[in-house]
Amino acid sequence: MGVRRVDFFDDDATGQRPPADTPSPERPARRRSNRRRSRIQRIVILAAILFLIVFALAWWARSCQQNRKVGSYRSYLDGVSTAITDSSALGKQLDQLVANPTKFSRKQLIGKLDELSDKQAEIAVRADRLEPPDTLKAEQGVFAAGMRVRSDGFKLLRAAMTAALGKKKVTAAGLSALAAYFAGPDAYYMDLFYTPTRKVMSDDGVTDVAVPTSTSYLNAKTFDRLRLESMLSRVRSSSKLSGIHGVGLVSVVATTESGKVPLAAGKTVNVPASAQLSFVVKVQNQGDVAEKSVPVVATLALPGGGSPLVQEGSIATVAPGQAKTVTIQGFAIPSEALSKICTLKVKAGPVPEERVLSNNTGEYKFLLQLK
């Protein structure tokens, strides 16, 4: 009888090997394990994809939020920068005006002062309407207040210069004191806006937006006292700026209850005798500056000698080129002057700084005629 050899590596120690087409009990378990592993791998991959999507969305949202934040700072500070640039340009024009006021006529100088004042007022309104990020509301208040203060400074300077042109007492020290209205806003801006704004943006993660500086008025010499003294001296000595002063006598009309009789130089006219005799004097402003309190004096010389009768009047104000009248009355004419020729001398002005006096006076003869 033969003996069967047993191999160590046989699956069955009994020496019996299942047929090749008989399924092994280990294979279904292996397949289940593989399927489980595949599901886990798919879940891991899906989770990774979801994580990437969520991360990308979060990054995109944060990027958009950061862009909006940066855009808000940039838009606001662009408005601030424009206002600073425009205001600094006015300061340069003001400096040129102080350096050479006589390049303007009186009317042009006043117009230029009005223009500068109006433009700074517009800048102040524009600055006040800027909408800052919530983190810069306090700084915006500082900036807007500074532009309003500078606007007040331009208004005060305009008033002072207009007074100087009108020959009122204006000193260099008084003008120099206005410097605080112009340089002060720059000082406050650099201390209370520029530095804090840079820190706020740095803390907020914004590093690529520039904060404009504002130092032009701090560095300007516009309100140097010596320069202002020179400017005032040139204004006072310039006829171009002080204007042409002068009035002229236009006409004299004798008035009684019977009517009006125009008087004419070099000619004797008849005037009805009357206790209500008065003279209407017409005076014209022949300069280019408004005149105030223009004096008018009428002197009546009676026949036969004796002290002349003098009455005065005044024209409150008369604009350039305008003519106004004043009535001179109150003459106590004695009866001896009736039916005799009287001489009336009328003098209008002169006004301060009037140079031409030849047209200020007139002499008229008239006969006091009995009714």
Cα three-residue angle 147-149-155, rounded to 5 degrees: 105
Of all residues in the chain, the percent with pLDDT exceeding 70 is: 88
- Tokens representing 188 are 């406050």
CA distance 258 to 265: 22
| AA identity, residue 327 | T
Pull the structure tokens for residue 16: 């019996």
Chain-centroid distance of CA 198 in Å reads 28
Are 101 and 235 within 8 A, CB to CB? yes
- Decide: 369 and 302 in contact? Cβ < 8 Å: no
% the chain with pLDDT above 90:
67
Q: What is the pLDDT of residues 249-273, one digit of tens each?
A: 999 999 998 899 999 999 999 999 8
Nearest to 291 by CA among 249, 252, 323: 323
d(CA 167, CA 174): 15
The angle formed by the CA atoms of residues 297, 244 and 96, to the nearest 5 degrees, is 150
Lowest mean pLDDT among 2-6, 61-65, 89-93: 2-6
* Structure confidence at residue 140 (pLDDT): 97
Of 366, 324, 309, the closest CA to residue 341 belongs to 366
Cβ-Cβ contacts under 8 Å for 162 (sequence gap 6 or more): 110, 113
| Mean pLDDT along residues 215-226 | 96
More confident position, 238 or 128: 128
- The band of 41, judged by pLDDT with boundaries at 50, 70 and 90, is confident
End-to-end alpha carbon distance in the chain? 195
Is the distance from CB of 248 to CB of 284 less than 8 angstroms? yes
pLDDT in tens, 263-305: 999 999 999 988 889 999 999 999 888 899 999 999 999 887 7
The tokens of 291 are what?
Answer: 């005149």
Contact 199, 193 (CB under 8 A): no
User: Half-sphere exposure of residue 179, counting CA atoms within 13 Å on the CB side?
Assistant: 20
At position 130, the amino acid (one-letter code) is L
DSSP letters for 246-315: -EEEEEEEEEETTEEEE--BT-EEEEE--TT-EEEEEEEE-SSS-EEEEEEEEEEEPTT-SPPEEEEEEE
Picking from 110, 192, 183, 191, the residue whose alpha carbon sits closest to that of residue 149 is 183
What is the reported pLDDT for 354? Answer: 86
At residue 6 the predicted structure's pLDDT band, cuts being 50, 70 and 90, is very low
Structure-token pair, residue 253? 């009309």
pLDDT of 185 above 80:
yes
Q: How far is CA 132 from CA 91, 126, 135, 140, 338, in A?
A: 26, 13, 8, 7, 87
Phi-psi category of 243—alpha, beta or left, where left has phi over 0 and alpha has psi -120 to 50?
A: left
Alpha helices in the chain (DSSP H): 27-99, 106-128, 137-165, 172-176, 179-189, 195-203, 216-219, 225-237, 239-242
pLDDT (0 to 100) of residue 318: 96
Alpha carbon separation from 112 to 152, 270, 275 (Å, rounded): 16, 54, 55
* Cβ 209 vs Cβ 79: under 8 Å: no
What token pair was written down for 57?
């969305």
205, HSE (Cβ side, Cα atoms, 13 Å): 7
Residue 13's pLDDT band, with cuts at 50, 70 and 90, is very low
Largest CA distance in the chain: 198
pLDDT, mean over the chain: 88
